[in-house]
Amino acid sequence: MTKQTRIGQTDLVVNPIGLGTVAVGGHNVYPNLKEEVGKDLVRAAINHGVNFLDTAFFYGTGRSEELVGEVVKEAGKRHELILATKGGLILVGNDVAMDNSPAFLKQSVEDSLKGCKQIT
């Protein structure tokens, strides 16, 4: 991939094709997914020039972030990759609710970093 795109007004530059990782650990969305197949997908994406990976705590309540972190560490290319996550969703029993309070969003980011701790 030769064309790159700047993300907003940041210094982050990504290839035009990224990878969303809900199917890499999102057992709550795709109950029959195979984690090793998901990890193979992330490996293939990185090996083919994808440098933007999108995940979220809600994808398997952190499992997607953990699996992505494992593959990124294994690839040894953390400095070449842009990782994105999302916050604001909270499980309340069997229901999903929104919580965009600063305290919850801060905790969501900290939890995401813990999930991806394998890459540091």
Given the residues 52, 57, 58, 59, select the one marked as catalytic: 59
Phi, psi of 92 (to 5 degrees): -125, 95
Quick one: which H or E segment has residue 67? helix 63-75
Phi, psi of 77 (to 5 degrees): -120, 25
User: d(Cα 91, Cα 54) in Å, to the nearest integer?
Assistant: 20
For residue 81, count CB atoms less than 10 angstroms from its CB and return exposed for 0-12, middle for 13-18, buried for 19 or more: middle
For residue 102, count CB atoms less than 10 angstroms from its CB and return exposed for 0-12, middle for 13-18, buried for 19 or more: exposed
| 30: annotated active-site residue | no
Active-site positions read 59
